[in-house]
Structure 1
Amino acid sequence: MSQNQLKEQVLNIIGDHKIGVLSSVEDNKPHSRYMTFFNDELTFYTPTSASTEKIDEIEKNPNVHILIGYEDKGFGDSYVEISGTSKINDSQELKKKLWDTSFKNWFDGPEDPNYLFLQIKPESIRLMNNNGEPPQELQL
């Protein structure tokens, strides 16, 4: 598969799946949780509250890992592994652009100062479990 085909397949998977697992580091151990993901090409955004432990973890160690795309259908159920670094993004423009009414369960609105995003810049992206093929790494 060419790099262009691989990128297209990765973008299709992350475009079709908004829920994934975000792992950060806490006391030199992985700490994972389900998150909602948005993407702009290969930059990822996930909403969170300023008061969560994720913020402390990211400030101490920005290295993160994301799994997204698996549907539990078995063999050939492709998913994407992303390793990268995260930073806090509290841009009002981004908060308004990605606001969803379902966020009202946690935030008062796009202007809520506790509502922000983790922005993840990939360092490696691998397509996994693609019809039994070995993992394929997208060149960034």
Structure 2
Amino acid sequence: MSDVSKDRQDADKVWGLMEKVGICMLATRDGAEIRARPMGAYVRREENAILFLTDIRRHKDDEIARDPHVCLAFADSRGQTYVSLTGRAAVSYDLAKIKELWSTPAKAWWDGPQDPNIRILTVTPNDAEYWDSPGTVVSYVKMAAAAVTNTRPALGDNRKVAM
């Protein structure tokens, strides 16, 4: 397999894992501090973006305006699947996109897609790293076997990926 094919396959894996997990921790910089909060992600590979509905009354939008570098951390501990992605974020107003992303969970935060406080947060990925294991039970069995045999367990795939 060529390096280009392998890179494409790894990128495909990252996009698929993010889509599967769906919820991530969005980390932003607040001066010297780093802040993270859970967010529902709309993974859009065809747009090379991860989108979020966000509220302009929250601090993350100000933090992104000062420093657009962010980290998204997706975790499915039951499935032993993890993705950490770095990228650049931008906040914008796009009513058509807000309507496209509008769903039942958004109703908990806003009255409707026309709410004047809703914005689109778009993260354009730079790179990612993923960990994909065969599952908790299999991982524990492999770790126990490795401890008994004094070897390192093979716990699945881990790759750094340019996005």
Aligned residue number for residue 72 of structure 2: 66
Letter in 1 for 2:56: A
- How many Å apart are 1:119 and its aligned residue? 0.5
Taking structure 1 as the reference length, what is the TM-score of the superposition? Answer: 0.88
Alpha-carbon contact 2:21-2:76 (below 8 Å) kept: no
Deviation at 1:82, TM superposition (A): 0.6
SS at 1:107's partner residue? coil
Aligned-partner Cα distance in 2 for 1:139–1:56:
28
- The aligned amino acid for 2:77 is D
CA contact (8 A) 2:82 2:130 kept: yes
1:27 is displaced (CA, Å) by: 2.1
How far has the Cα of 1:135 moved from its partner? 3.7
Whether contact under 8 Å (2:84, 2:128) holds in the other structure is yes
Q: Which amino acid aligns with 2:87?
A: G
Match of 1:91 in 2: 94
Where 1:51 maps in the other structure, the secondary structure is: coil
User: What amino acid does structure 2 have at the position aligned with 1:115?
Assistant: I
Structure 1's 90 and 16: CA in aligned 2 closer, same or farther, altered over 3 A? same
Per-residue deviation, 1:137 = 2.0
Q: Whose Rg is larger?
A: 2
Number of equivalent positions? 137
Residue identity opposite 1:67 in structure 2: A
What is the one-letter code of the residue matched to 2:35? Answer: H
Under a length normalisation based on structure 2, what TM-score does the superposition of the two structures give?
0.76
Task: Tell me the equivalent position of 2:161.
Answer: 138
RCO higher in structure (CA 8 A, sep ≥6):
1
The question of whether the paired residues in 1 share the 8 Å contact of 2:126 and 2:162 is answered with no
**Partner in structure 2 of residue 52 of structure 1:** 58
Which of 122, 126, 138 is equivalent to 1:123?
126
Q: Shift of residue 37 of structure 1? A: 0.5
Q: How many angstroms apart in 1 are the aligned matches of 2:161 and 2:110?
A: 35
Does 2:27 match 1:23?
Answer: yes
Any idea what SS the aligned residue of 1:44 has?
A: strand
Structure 2 residue aligned with 1:11, among 7, 15, 32?
15
* Unpaired runs of at least 5, structure 2: 135-154
Q: CA deviation at 1:89?
A: 2.1
